[in-house]
Structure 1
Amino acid sequence: MIQYLKESTFIVKDVIMQAWAVTRDNYFSIATFCFMLFITFSTSTFLAFFMGQLHIGVRVVMLIIFMILYCMVHLSLIKYIFKVLDSKDVQPQIIETLPTRNEIIRFLIGTLYFGLSIFFVGIALFPVLYILDFVLRLAVDAGLIDSFTQVGDVIVKIAVAIAVISIFFTFIRIIFFPFFIIDKGASPFESIKLSLATTKGNFIKLLYILITLVLIQVIVFGFFYWTLSGFNMISMFFNYDINSYVSLLAAIFSSFVVVPFTTSLFSVAYRKIMNEYKGEEHPDILHNII
């Protein structure tokens, strides 16, 4: 068990260091994609405040356009990092990373499957909550719990905890579906199956990577808010409130610091896992869920 943990820790460290190298050496190209993501998301959010009075058809068309644009940039970013990993001596051109129409459609459908997977996980939790409600009511009747109000509070807290853990588990298992669409040309449902298969034996490693990513984000945003507090002190001398720009600054900071490294991290992890994956070409979904 100790040897396994040492091996996993070494792999996580290797993934993090390689992702950092990719982000550092290609930051300006990656930041270009992140800038386009930021502009697309910000523009769609800004226009949402002014489209309330427009016809529903116009709003649907605008929503579809921004969704397609966002997907194009996101897939281009993944494809660019793959090209960097696969051809280290040749600097890829951004124009070479544009996704095809089929890739965009497959990604949109795969995203729908992703959302449905989360939804079905929530539906599957209902029997557990009914059983929990029944057990806790028995505890009330036995005098172990004072009132039904306490029962309700306990059920809500446990339900939230179970939902968060289940969604997090599902997220890790299906996280690689866009990479299979770009890298293997897989269909939406096939990409979900391949993601389940490749993450089945690597869940702990991916968990280490995500925990490391969360810690890095905590450090990065901690530095951001520490710096922001310094600007607040300076703004007091000029009688100018910068708090109204905090959300915008946080979005910019996240888009150009967190997103580049996060995308590189998952891309490198995908490459590492696929280099060791010896499973079936078309795995069965049921045998790879647990």
Structure 2
Amino acid sequence: MSLTHFEATTRVGEGLKLVRSQLRKARVKTALRNQEDFQNYSAMENTREPVSLKNPTVLQSQELHEYILKTSVYPREPNPLKELRIASANHPMAFMGTAPDAGQLMTFLLKLVNPKKTIEIGVFTGYSLLLTALTIPDDGKITAIDINRKTYEIGLPVIKKARVEHKIDFIESQALPILDKLLEDPEKEGSFDFAFVDADKNNYWNYHQRLMKLIKVGGILMYDNTLWGGTVAWPEEDVPEAKREYRLCAIEFNKLVSADTNVEISQVPLGDGITICRRIC
């Protein structure tokens, strides 16, 4: 029995939808870190209910990522950082911590800049905060801002054990009011050497505008998660629903900071993507 043109077209369309769905799942499975994450994604696709997903790393070969960690990162990771990473591992939001390979790059930059005064927006359990405190001079100071002191206190015993707590001024607050308060004092403008941001992605550009006034010319700003697991380059329909909002935020921030003539930039595919800016005017 022959098919009508409409029936044939319908079957082809259904076949293409099936192939596209299979390709989308294959793409997501490659990007997500483990089978459990993929099962969560599949559940979300079937139920259309929000499911919390871990952030995949941009380097989407898990074997290669583990090779880099085991060969070049973990052997050189200071014991306090290793201890804090292990202490944070069982937290349900542990994936929010700074990736150790990204932290290694951050330490490298801190040593090149040798900052005396830094600012950090988004602390979580304090991995990046601790590596900064371990790296800057003994009389250096870090203004650390986070809305949740409880997560900071997970890493605080390790920070105290490392004897660097005196370098940290932790402020439990939304970041924008604190930045605006700092800018009320003209002496604060251009007084910071280094900034690290790993917080709410929808405010990255707001943070950047204020930090550009607080960081001195020649100072460094680092923004985490700017490639959002590589999804910034995906078609939107291939991106898990739970990740679409911040994906759009990352795309918009990347476009704006790329056009900012007041900075030199480098976007590095480490961890979840890092954008490094150097203020030039």
- For the superposition of Structure 1 and Structure 2, which TM-score range results when normalised by the shorter chain? under 0.3
Structure showing greater Rg:
1
Which structure is higher in RCO with an 8 Å CA cutoff and minimum separation 6? 1
The structure in which a higher percent of residues are strand is 2
The structure in which a higher percent of residues are helix is 1
